[in-house]
Structure 1
Amino acid sequence: MMGFTNLIRTHFDFLNHSGSEAICAKCNEVISQRIVTALDKSWHPEHFACRECHTPITESTFNQKDGEPVCTQCYASKYLDVCFSCGEPIKGKTIKALGRAWHEEHFICGGSCQKPLSGASFYEKDGNAYCKDDYDFLFAAKCIHCYKPITDKAIIALNGKWHKDCFRCKMCDKPITSSTFAVEDNKPVCTECVA
């Protein structure tokens, strides 16, 4: 989040409020006209400048880095994380995930739903984040009977994986629970229907 600091600009003639002369933090000269007071220091207005680009800061707010003023543009380009999705600096809440930084609204499911994933659990595949439903749909093994993702235990038979409830007898349509079964047209048949 950007660290804005309010800039206090006041007009002084020769003395500051404590009665002593105001000395510029940049040039160490006495300030006799306008004065900028910020970060517990005083400056000539032309010396209150960004530590990066050295341009005088004239806005009513500024940023600081290590106790020195930084203009808004330099702060955004040098100190803010850049969103992996849009490439823009992140001025608000930052989501750090998958070794990258994201705007909160850009950290979304990489599948078809595009749901926001901020604050939610997610699954990673090839550097992308997915909600559970899309992850299962895209990457889980599919049942050779119903073609839906298998997210629990699977029965491996007849050159494929099956949901427990999908592994049914071709003849009576009852689930096959025995480890022995017959095969007809590459479909399971329970021992009761074979007899």
Structure 2
Amino acid sequence: CDESLTGQRYVLRDEHPYCIKCYESVFANGCEECNKTIGIDSKDLSYKDKHWHEACFLCNKCRVSLVDKQFGSKLDKIFCGNCYDAQFASRCDGCGQIFKAGTKKMEYKTRQWHEPCFACCVCKTPIGTKSFIPREQEIYCATCYEEKFATRCVKCNKIITSGGVTYKNEPWHRECFACTNCSTTLAGVRFTSRDDKPYCAECFGELFSKRCTACSKPITGIGGTRFISFEDRHWHNDCFMCASCKTSLVGRGFITDAEDIICPECAKQKLM
């Protein structure tokens, strides 16, 4: 402004003197809070190319002074630590509390936890670096997940970890799926059932099947075995033969002779 600086305060910048008024007009920063110039007699506080008078450096929400205090910035505004945390800090999906500076954070998909809060929902043991299984917004350790949801054997009620057999829509260990009578494993072999209990073919025949009048062995019917019944007596097809000449009577007429059955030819010979 070419005004004489004799007897006045002035500011030297780049070896050029400026009167106070011109210096503040050209070089002083404007305050973000009050929009007034931060004069040379005021302390200029700056953050990210923004400036405040010391008295104007306040939390945008609670208006507490931020001088010499920790603060946070959001949406071009500054906040004290408490207000920033309350409004903007991410929160733990376990306890609902904020993540303080330096706190270790455990993340899975869009969720996050404090390390102690990232725990099995059943046993409450922190997961840490161990494997886990998510189910319906809950986190399970492997042990608790198996205990709660794993398939269990109908017979022993223990977890089926591999293989297994399904019978009538119920799961069994292969070694547990055994004959009710002799305990022989039935996995991969022929079997039948009675009263919803499985039996090997041999035990079923011995316990429940009709017996052949000729050989006294059981007629199981398993595997398409054919048999013949007559007057409450039963025969295997191969055993249904004439008591005299041993000719098969399957599909032929026959005659009873006391407890025996005989072919018509042998019956005629007996009458002669």
Fold-level similarity (TM above 0.5) = yes
Report the equivalent of 1:143.
Answer: 153
- 1:191 matches 2:198: no
The Cα shift of 1:72 comes to 0.6
Structure 1 distance, partners of 2:124, 2:105, is 22
Letter in 1 for 2:153: C
Unaligned 5+ runs, structure 1:
1-13
Structure 2 distance, partners of 1:23, 1:41, is 9
Report the equivalent of 2:73.
Answer: 64
Report the equivalent of 2:52.
Answer: 43
- 1:132 matches 2:142: yes
- Structure 1 contact 95–118 (Cα < 8 Å) conserved: no
Give the alignment partner of residue 27 of structure 1, picking from 5, 29, 34.
34
Bigger radius of gyration, 1 or 2?
2
- 1:180 matches 2:190: yes
Q: Share of identical aligned residues, percent?
A: 28
**Coordinate RMSD, CA, aligned:** 3.3
TM-score by length of 2: 0.54
Structure 2 distance, partners of 1:98, 1:153, is 32
- 1:156 matches 2:166: yes
Structure 1 distance, partners of 2:196, 2:130, is 46
**Relative contact order (C-alpha < 8 Å, sep 6+): which is higher?**
1
The Cα shift of 1:65 comes to 0.9
- Structure 2 contact 60–78 (Cα < 8 Å) conserved: yes
Aligned residues: 180
TM-score by length of 1: 0.72
Unaligned 5+ runs, structure 2:
1-9, 15-22, 206-272
The Cα shift of 1:183 comes to 4.1
The Cα shift of 1:179 comes to 5.5
- Structure 1 contact 104–118 (Cα < 8 Å) conserved: no
